[in-house]
């Protein structure tokens, strides 16, 4: 089946404290989004990348593509004011029935094995949401105070969140709601049950300078 990877790089990343949006910050001399794009292209020869970028940085993204990749496999879409709108803009480039991955560009350390797991599960069930267990104790805050949660029943959600296009595209025709924090919440609100797959501890979302240090260590270990 046709495969699309919508790589969402539409944010500004203000917590990184850099002059550029964090998806363009260099990790081992390459921009963060390079690694996400590269891994998807390695995973499947027939995949089409849809790279969603801030409107003000589309030329910068084009420069990255021209420097490192075959531009025929990468389409650029403009990001929106919310993640929901950015993904919706990317989905407008999906032209046929397919499996669609939606991935945060700054989760740049994902593996091809994770991509393959998500694809196979989505083929089987229609969806695949990568998750990892929580290792920390958890507490639920309420107006009455707080209480402990059983961490064995809580999973931390990652990307790429993966769906059959016939599920994802109609789900994104609904009106935006503040509760939509990712694609899974959109699809769930549309009435679908979600399937979970095993995520990866190294598949971190880079948000702060400290995360960059962790990512550099992981990348260097892989290369050696």
Res 15: pLDDT: 57
> Which is nearest to 78 in space by CA: 66, 68, 87?
87
DSSP sequence for 51-78: EEE-GGGHHHHHHHHHHHS-GGGEEEEE
Res 18: pLDDT: 63
pTM to 2 decimal places: 0.95
Q: Residue 197 is part of a domain; what is its CATH number?
A: 3.90.550.10
> Which is nearest to 183 in space by CA: 103, 67, 119?
103
Decide if 4 contacts 98 (C-beta within 8 A): yes
Helix (H) or strand (E) holding 130: strand 127-133
Is the pLDDT score of 91 beyond 90? yes
- pLDDT digits 0-9 by tens, 152-205: 999 999 999 999 999 999 999 999 999 999 999 999 999 999 999 999 999 999
- pLDDT digits 0-9 by tens, 20-47: 889 999 999 999 999 999 999 999 999 9
Residue count of the chain, please give it.
224
- pLDDT digits 0-9 by tens, 52-86: 999 999 999 999 999 999 999 999 999 999 999 99
- Residue 194 token pair: 């979600």
Q: How far apart are CA 201 and CA 87, in angstroms?
A: 25
Res 14: pLDDT: 56
Confidence band of 223 (pLDDT split at 50, 70, 90): confident
Q: How far apart are CA 190 and CA 29, in angstroms?
A: 42
| Helical residues (DSSP H) of the chain, grouped into ranges | 32-43, 58-68, 83-91, 112-125, 165-171, 183-189, 209-223
Q: How far apart are CA 70 and CA 115, in angstroms?
A: 20
Domain count, the chain: 1
Q: Domain limits at 170? A: 2-223
């Amino acid at each position: 089946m046709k495969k699309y990877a919508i790589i969402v790089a539409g944010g500004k990343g203000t917590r990184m404290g850099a002059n550029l949006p964090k998806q363009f910050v260099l990790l081992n001399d390459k921009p963060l989004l390079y690694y996400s794009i590269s891994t998807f292209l390695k995973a499947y020869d027939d995949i089409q990348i849809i790279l969603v970028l801030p409107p003000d940085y589309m030329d910068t993204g084009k420069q990255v593509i021209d420097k490192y990749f075959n531009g025929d496999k990468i389409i650029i879409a403009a990001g929106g004011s919310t993640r929901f709108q950015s993904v919706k803009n990317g989905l407008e480039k999906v032209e046929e029935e397919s499996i669609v991955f939606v991935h945060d560009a700054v989760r740049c350390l994902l593996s091809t094995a994770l991509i393959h797991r998500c694809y196979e599960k989505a083929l089987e069930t229609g969806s695949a949401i990568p998750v990892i267990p929580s290792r920390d104790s958890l507490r639920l805050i309420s107006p009455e105070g707080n209480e402990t949660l059983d961490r064995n029943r809580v999973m931390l959600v990652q990307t790429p969140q993966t769906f059959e296009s016939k599920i994802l595209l109609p789900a994104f025709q609904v009106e935006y709601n503040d509760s939509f924090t990712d694609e899974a919440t959109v699809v769930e609100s549309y009435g679908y049950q979600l399937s979970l797959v095993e995520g990866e501890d190294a598949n971190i979302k880079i948000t702060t300078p400290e995360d960059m240090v962790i990512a550099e260590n992981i990348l260097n270990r892989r290369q050696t």
